[in-house]
Amino acid sequence: MKAFRKLLQRTPFYGVYKALGHYPDYWYWKLRGEPIRSPHLLKQRTVRDYAQRYGLRVLVETGTYYGEMVAAMKNRFAEIHSVEFDSQLARRAAKKFSRWPHIHILEGDSQKVVPELLKSLHQPALFWLDAGYYGWAGLQGDKQRLTSELESILGHSTQKHVILMDDARGLNGQNGAPTVPQLKQRIEAEFPGRNVEVKYDILRITPR
């Protein structure tokens, strides 16, 4: 099975293969009592729900991977920007979504690309962030700081961005990462008017 999957990854059909697995994965997750790792189908529903709740028409994603989230949201948002660090995956996604002019695949380090992208955003956006991209500064005495990516979004002139960060379980105080309570305290202290909570392994930062 592993050999087949590796072979399939080299073809244009891998994205379809991954997408077909979302429904069985979701029901398997339900049958196991909803463990901490949330299935991709739930992540898609969360993105849709928050976009509708806050009236957001722009999606910014970090971590394109095989374009699963972009494919699921291509008809939901008026504009989609997805950032991918891996050159091969970025080229693959750019080719896959080339016929949709409102979808933009951006290659590079999201902590550099996102601040640049924000300069051209003049309306609130929904940010779907891959926590694995983060290079946490961690604790330096009492000077725990946020990464440049989070700081740039939260400090942007448009104040009503919504941030959803995947894999919140990685906020565990290890390897330089803050804990959820530490991050919540820091964000709410430095950026008043924001709520921070975690549900289904997704960190959610929303306007109050």
Domain chopping of the chain, boundaries: 36-207
pLDDT score at 32? 76
CA distance 208 to 142: 27
Is pTM, for the whole model, over 0.95?
A: no
pLDDT score at 62? 93
Mean pLDDT score of the chain, rounded to an integer? 83
Looking at per-residue confidence, does 124 or 109 come out higher? Answer: 124
Report which residue type is found at 135: G
Q: Is the pLDDT of residue 57 over 70?
A: yes
Exposure pattern of 56-80 as b/e (b: 16+ CB <10 Å)?
bebbbbbbbbbbbbbbbbeebbeeb
The pLDDT > 70 percentage for the chain reads: 79
Please provide the CATH number assigned to the domain covering 36-207. 3.40.50.150
pLDDT score at 91? 95
Residue whose structure tokens are 């660090």 = 85
